[in-house]
Structure formats: structure tokens, C-alpha cells
């Protein structure tokens, strides 16, 4: 068998072809206008990424409801009021002939307190005390609301296709709403949406069904799935494998494997709660789980989290851990990295651990999101990223900016 290389094309189940095996994974840009429309900054950022060589770009999470945001300045895809903006974004992100998929999301209980007036979740179970302060306690969704949310996911997918995106991805990872439904810890419903794994995955499958119905059989629909939540009593890899099998049978086009939640931010560091500090971790945080999932399905598997060298990416492809490698932070610090690797140059990521020295800040994934968010903002303004930026400075500056943006968002809603 000829080993797979980074530059090999990949045909997806729907027939679409990714031109190579490198993907930019979703990163919430928080660069929309204050009323959630596509901005010039987003257009510039994605033009730059498109020219960077990735076969697939996945947008940062786009929200299905302007009253349920993950961050201020999220793009919202609810109706056709900004179809022209979405078209400009889609054109920019596909400039070099690569794929550009819209990631579609709802925060559920990971709903910032200063931003949203209410929060909803499968069950009214608060987040753990260390982070509960930042989020609004959620109430349980009603059956009618669940059905409405499913239609909203489908509607966002329809808008994405209409705007010229070349695919869509369901965000079913990192503790957001869809992954809350999968979790036995966060979903304690006793109706058809909770209890058995079959019931807990019903929301994801209905969301997939609504999105597939909206875009048709020839259009890529992918999912970002947690291999595990890394929480006691939470969603674990044996269940992730079962969910992957059902998605495979239903015709999903790609399963991106990730892990963790805000309560257990493994995705930022790769350090699992049960792991001894001395254990030498593999570069790719979730490689062993991705391989288990890939062995159980026909659907192509994308693996994201921790890739820092071309050697590790090639190893993951040739050893059968995955079909596509996903990169996030590395592509903020080096936008041209995929093009360089595809030319055969070696790659060493500039990503380094970020620390402020304050445990309460360093133990959440927030610092990474905010520090890289600042670098994306620089790029979107035509400036280079600043790898040497002080983490504590970035944290405080973002705290103030986000506070002001949340206030402006609430004010706009009130008018
Ligand atoms: C600034 C930032 C924003 C992120 N936003 C999202 C998001 O919107 N959706 C998502 O699925 N993952 C998001 N992630 C997680 C990344 O997609 C990725 O899984 C994680 O950074 C690990 O990959 P890496 O080690 O290559 O950075 C975000 C990460 C960062 C740093």
C-alpha cells in the first residue's frame, strides 16, 4: 500500500474532493460586527488563510441564535439579512480553490453571564464551581425548544450553502450544546432526549438530519466530536466510537476528533486529568482515540490538537490514526505553514505553553482562546502576529475589550 502523504487529495463520501490532507480547524475569531455580520476583518483573515495552502478551512463557530452567543462579535446565521456578507466571506475563504466549511454551534450552558440573558441546556445542571462564576446557570430545554434548535441548525446549513461555503460542520465537541446532549453527566433527561446513548445522541442525529436535508446529498456535512469529555461520569471514548458508527451509517462526510470541555480543558494542553506529569505524551493529543474511531468507521477522520511538526502529521497519516490533520494555533502564528509543508519543507510550530503564573487563569482554556484571538485580530488588520506578546497583558486587555463588547451587545438588544 502506498503511504498517504500530506499532499494527497481525499474524496469524501458525498463525492467532494479535498485537495490535500491539511485542514485549519475552527477558531472563534470574534471578529464580526457588534450586530453579528461579516466584517472586512474576517474577509482579510480568510483570504490570508486560503492563500496559506490548507486543503480545508473550517470557520470559527457561527451561532444559530443571536440570543445565545459564545462570545461577543460571533457571526450569527439565522436569516438572510447578511447573505451578502456571508457570500464575501465564503469567496475570501475559497480564494485559492480550497474548501471552506462553516462550523455551526450553540453554546448551551457555556453561555457567558455578561452576554446572554438566559442559558439553556439538556438539563439544569450548573457548571463546576471554578468556572460557574463566568457562565449563566442554564434551565432545561422544552421539547418545543429542542425541535426549534434542530431547525435552526438546518437553516444555518442552508444559508452556508446559499452563500457559497463548500461544506458545513456541526460543533459537537468541547462541552457546547450538542456535546452536552451526549454527556451522561450534563444530560439527565428522562424523555426521548436523555438516558440511553441512543437517546442522548438523538439531538446530534436530528441536527445532522436537518442539515443534510437542507444541503442535499452532494454537499459535505462534517462533525467535530469529542473522543471524551475527560470528566468523571462524562462522555467517554467507548460511547464516542458508537456515535461515530451511527454517524457513519447515516452518511456523515468527516469526523474531526477532539476532546475536553471548559470544565476539563484538555484541548488547550493535551494533559488528561488521569495522566502523570512524567508521562511522555504523543504530540497529537487525541491520536489513540482517533485511531480507535477510524478503525470502527468508513468515514474519513480528521485529527486535531497538538500537532507541532510535519513528522508527527505524516506519522499520524501513515500509521492510520487519521485521514486529515487539523491545525489551529500553529496556523495563527504561521499562515503559510501548509504551503511550506506541501513543498516538502520541514515544519516546527511556534506554539508554546502560555502561562500568566495565576492558577485561576492558567487552569482554564480561556487564556489560549483570548491570546490567539488577539493574534487573529492583528492579522485581520493587516499586521503580523506577535508571538512574544505577554500572556497576562493579553488576558487583561481582552477582559476589558470583551466586557465593553458584551455591554454594547446587550445595549443593542435592548433597543
Ligand atoms: C482562539 C481559539 C478559538 C477556538 N475556537 C474554536 C471554535 O470556534 N470551534 C472549535 O471547534 N474549536 C475551537 N478551538 C479549538 C481548536 O479548533 C483546536 O481544537 C485546538 O486549538 C487544538 O488544536 P491546536 O493544538 O492545533 O491548536 C479554538 C482554539 C483557539 C486557540
- Ligand 1 atom 4 nearest Cα: 27
User: Is 215 part of any domain?
Assistant: yes
DSSP single-letter state for residue 112 = B
Residue 133 confidence class, pLDDT cut points 50, 70, 90: confident
- Check residue 285 and give left, alpha or beta (phi > 0: left; psi -120 to 50: alpha): alpha
pLDDT of residue 389: 97
pTM tops 0.95: yes
Average pLDDT over residues 292-296: 98
Residue with the larger pLDDT of the pair 38 and 366: 38
User: Is 184 part of any domain?
Assistant: yes
pLDDT at 279 over 70: no
Average pLDDT over residues 379-402: 97
How far is 187 from 125, CA to CA, in rounded Å? Answer: 8
pLDDT of residue 352: 94
pLDDT at 274 over 80: no
Pairing of strands 99-105, 167-172: parallel
User: Is 4 part of any domain?
Assistant: no
Chain centre to alpha carbon of residue 393:
26
Residue with the larger pLDDT of the pair 130 and 46: 46
Residue 341 confidence class, pLDDT cut points 50, 70, 90: very high
**Total residue length of the chain:** 415
For ligand 1, is residue 328 a contact (CB within 6 Å)? yes
User: Is 244 part of any domain?
Assistant: yes
For ligand 1, is residue 149 a contact (CB within 6 Å)? no
- The atom number, within ligand 1, closest to the CA of 327 reads 26
User: Is 5 part of any domain?
Assistant: no
Residue 354 structural domain: 10-414
User: Is 1 part of any domain?
Assistant: no
Which three three-digit cell numbers place residue 265?
480543558
How far is 126 from 186, CA to CA, in rounded Å? Answer: 9
Average pLDDT over residues 123-135: 92
pLDDT of residue 281: 64
Residue 363 confidence class, pLDDT cut points 50, 70, 90: confident
For ligand 1, is residue 25 a contact (CB within 6 Å)? yes
For ligand 1, is residue 239 a contact (CB within 6 Å)? no
Q: What's the first-to-final CA gap in the chain, in angstroms? A: 63
pLDDT of residue 2: 67
How far, in Å, is the centroid of ligand 1 from the Cα of 270? 12
Which is nearest to 142 in space by CA: 121, 118, 156, 172?
Answer: 121
Pairing of strands 221-226, 254-258: parallel
Average pLDDT over residues 70-81: 98
Hunting for cell 510550530 — which residue is that?
349
pLDDT at 162 over 60: yes
Average pLDDT over residues 193-220: 98
Q: What is the CATH number of the domain that holds 278?
A: 3.20.20.70
Residue 1 confidence class, pLDDT cut points 50, 70, 90: low
User: Is 2 part of any domain?
Assistant: no
Least confident window among 180-189, 267-276, 303-312, 360-369: 267-276
| Number of independent structural domains in the chain | 1
pLDDT of residue 276: 61
Q: Determine the Cα angle at 119 with ends 118 and 121, to 5°.
A: 150
pLDDT of residue 280: 53
Amino acid at each position: 500500500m502506498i503511504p498517504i502523504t500530506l499532499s494527497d487529495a481525499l474524496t469524501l463520501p458525498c463525492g467532494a474532493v479535498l485537495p490535500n490532507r491539511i485542514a485549519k480547524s475552527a477558531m472563534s475569531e470574534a471578529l464580526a460586527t457588534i450586530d453579528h455580520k461579516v466584517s472586512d476583518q474576517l474577509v482579510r483573515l480568510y483570504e490570508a488563510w486560503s492563500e496559506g495552502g490548507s486543503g480545508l478551512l473550517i470557520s470559527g463557530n457561527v451561532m444559530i441564535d443571536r440570543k445565545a452567543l459564545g462570545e461577543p462579535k460571533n457571526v450569527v446565521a439565522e436569516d438572510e439579512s447578511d447573505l451578502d456578507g456571508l457570500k464575501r466571506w465564503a469567496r475570501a475563504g475559497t480564494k485559492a480553490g480550497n474548501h471552506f466549511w462553516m462550523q455551526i454551534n450553540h453554546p448551551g450552558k457555556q453561555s457567558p453571564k455578561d452576554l446572554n440573558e438566559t442559558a439553556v441546556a439538556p438539563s439544569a445542571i450548573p457548571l463546576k464551581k471554578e468556572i460557574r462564576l463566568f457562565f449563566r446557570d442554564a434551565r432545561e430545554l422544552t421539547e418545543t425548544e429542542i425541535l426549534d434548535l434542530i431547525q435552526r441548525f438546518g437553516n444555518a446549513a442552508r444559508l452556508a450553502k446559499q452563500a457559497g461555503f463548500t461544506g458545513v460542520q456541526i460543533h459537537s465537541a468541547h462541552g457546547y450544546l450538542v456535546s452536552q446532549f451526549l454527556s451522561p453527566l450534563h444530560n439527565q433527561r428522562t424523555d426521548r432526549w436523555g438516558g440511553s446513548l441512543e437517546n442522548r445522541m438523538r439531538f446530534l442525529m436530528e441536527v445532522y438530519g436537518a442539515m443534510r436535508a437542507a444541503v442535499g446529498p452532494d454537499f459535505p456535512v462534517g462533525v467535530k466530536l469529542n473522543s471524551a469529555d475527560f470528566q468523571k461520569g462524562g462522555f467517554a471514548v467507548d460511547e464516542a466510537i458508537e456515535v461515530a458508527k451511527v454517524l457513519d451509517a447515516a452518511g456523515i462526510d468527516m469526523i474531526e476528533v477532539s476532546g475536553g470541555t471548559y470544565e476539563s480543558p484538555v484541548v488547550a494542553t493535551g494533559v488528561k486529568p488521569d495522566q502523570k506529569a512524567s508521562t511522555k505524551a504523543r504530540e497529537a493529543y487525541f491520536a489513540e482515540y482517533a485511531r480507535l474511531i477510524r478503525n470502527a468507521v468508513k468515514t474519513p477522520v480528521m485529527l486535531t490538537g497538538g500537532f507541532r511538526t510535519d513528522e508527527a502529521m505524516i506519522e499520524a497519516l501513515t500509521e492510520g490514526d487519521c485521514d486529515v490533520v487539523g491545525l489551529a494555533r500553529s496556523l495563527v502564528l504561521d499562515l503559510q505553514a501548509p504551503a511550506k509543508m506541501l513543498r516538502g519543507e520541514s515544519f516546527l510550530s511556534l506554539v508554546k505553553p502560555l502561562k500568566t503564573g495565576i492558577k485561576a487563569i492558567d487552569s482554564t482554556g480561556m487564556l489560549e482562546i483570548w491570546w490567539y484571538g488577539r493574534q487573529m485580530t492583528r492579522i485581520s488588520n493587516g499586521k503580523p502576529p506577535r508571538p512574544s506578546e505577554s500572556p497576562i497583558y493579553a488576558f487583561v486587555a481582552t477582559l476589558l475589550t470583551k466586557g465593553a463588547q458584551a455591554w454594547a451587545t446587550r445595549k443593542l438588544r435592548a433597543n
